[in-house]
Amino acid sequence: MLPLFHAVRAPRGAPDQPAQPSPSLRRRFRWSPLAALACCSVLLAACSQNEPPWQLTNVSGHLPDLAFSLTGDNGKPVEASAFKGDTTLVYFGYTHCPDVCPETMARLMQVLAKLGPDAQKVRILFITVDPARDTPKALHDYVGAFDAGHARGLTGTDGQIESLAKRYRVAYQMEKRDPSGNYEVTHSSAVYIFDAEGHARLLATDSDLPDTIAHDLRRMIESST
């Protein structure tokens, strides 16, 4: 079963600062609905004889098209339609995440480097699951530390984030603060990949190597041109 569910704790002593990676804090969980989706996708791919299988998990037809109305890291409203024409990678995380979020973003930077010129056709959307702390400025600074040219931070109201998470079967849970002001956020860790038309196509997990992700992204980009 794919490792799609993580629990992470904000670091002690700095509840208002983005965290640095700390692999020892990672705890992995399985989330049955998304894992079941991955299993169904494997069966679907096995039944297709018209094209070679994707190296990532094929979720075509299992998840809805990219659609949202959120607030960008520039403080302005943004719609999913703004990214039509690009291959879009969507990740749900938060800036205080001590390990899996920065590790995932760093891995996606490796993917962009491997894509070369094709990277210009890729956008990364970092959607917060911690809107209480992740202001537009906090998100702007966070994604900018990785790649301001390709990555955008997105936030919204609690209701907007909850609705979007439900749409894509993303699990997350905010825990109560401890006396030091720390709290845990348990969240799914998959990267959702949408084609240039906004259709959900692939799912990448933290077990997928940058080479694997780059291979499928290049194939998707070439098929859309």
Indicate the annotated binding residues for Cu cation.
97, 101, 187
Distance CA 126, CA 90 (A): 6
Distance CA 137, CA 153 (A): 9
Distance CA 98, CA 26 (A): 8
Binding residues, as ranges, are 97, 101, 187
**CA nearest neighbour of 148 among 103, 105, 107, 196:** 105
Give the Cβ contact number of residue 45 at 10 Å: 16
**CA nearest neighbour of 170 among 103, 125, 139:** 125
